[in-house]
Amino acid sequence: MILSIEELSIAGRDRTLVDKVSLAVREGEFMALVGQSGSGKSLLSQAIGQLLPPNLHASGRMMFDGSNLLDRKPKEMRALRGSRISYIFQDYQGAFTPFRSIGAHFDEYQKVHGEKSAAVRRSKAAEALESVGLDAKLLRRYPFQLSGGQLQRASIATALMLSPRLLIADEVTTALDSVSGHRVLELLARKQAETGCAILFITHDWRHVRRYANRLSVMKEGRIVESGGKHRILDHPQHDYTRQLIAAAPILSRSLNSGLEEEPT
């Protein structure tokens, strides 16, 4: 087990937003966390990397590499984020400062994690871009000169550059059109197969869950209401909320019955 979350609660001053959630991510799997907006999915993902807003407090246990992430000091977490645990966020454009080149972002990312050789940093940056199907020449360009799909690929390249063991992908297709979103997830699935990293995929899109996930957990109002293998939950959901979500996705319902739906290419 690469990540074991036990009785995790996240609370503000007068309200509990995530209530005693337990969740496990296995080595090398594509694990989906599904739920509607406001269910607590993103808060849970932020807690893993100690990225919660200062007005929120997390308690419980999140075991990774033999220790509780909630007990790690900020300096330790800064070293861990990017190297062992990496993030891809919905706001891929916000990950890049407009007045700095793409190459400068890659360079700074490696500096933060201790790579002192400028030549090595340049080589790794070019290799990272090429690994996601982008030309290394894009390192000289600025974020506004790239399309949305290219920027999302660049953010994936950054996240995977240091070979993390756990990649947290938080609503990574929400801001993309359906074709670009499909291509991004195909890329993630391919990179997972190549590197063996585990992916925690935060989403509300059941089509992507059906196509890519191994297991999933369903979250409602800060609690996990159902967990299990993808096929068991999609074919035989046990909780009323899960059944409601699936029933509200007519494309998914038809594809489960017919098995004929194909994603766009």
pLDDT for the residue numbered 250? 59
Instruction: Count CA atoms closer than 13 A to 262's CA, side-chain side.
Output: 2
Q: In CATH, what number is assigned to the domain containing residue 231?
A: 3.40.50.300
User: Taking the mean position of all CA atoms in its chain, how far away is CA 89?
Assistant: 7
Which domain covers residue 190, as residue numbers?
3-258
Q: Domain count of the chain?
A: 1
In a domain, 265, yes or no: no
| Averages of pLDDT over each 10 residues, the chain, 265 residues | 96 94 94 93 95 95 93 92 89 83 94 91 94 93 90 89 92 76 84 90 90 94 95 93 86 44 36
240-247 and 250-258 helices cross at what angle (nearest 10)?
90
CA–CA gap between residue 30 and residue 51 (Å, rounded): 22
In a domain, 263, yes or no: no
Q: What is the Cα gyration radius of the chain?
A: 19
Characterize the bridge pairing of strands 30-34 and 16-25: unpaired
In a domain, 264, yes or no: no
Both tokens of residue 161? 């550059």
Sign of the dihedral defined by the CA atoms of residues 252, 38, 20, 70, in that order: positive
pLDDT for the residue numbered 194? 87
pLDDT for the residue numbered 27? 92
pLDDT for the residue numbered 258? 41
pLDDT for the residue numbered 264? 35
pLDDT for the residue numbered 149? 82
Beta-ladder partners of 10: 18, 58
pLDDT for the residue numbered 8? 97
pLDDT for the residue numbered 222? 96
Q: What's the pTM?
A: 0.87
Both tokens of residue 188? 């993630």
What element of type H or E holds 20? Answer: strand 16-25
DSSP class of residue 137 equals G
In a domain, 123, yes or no: yes
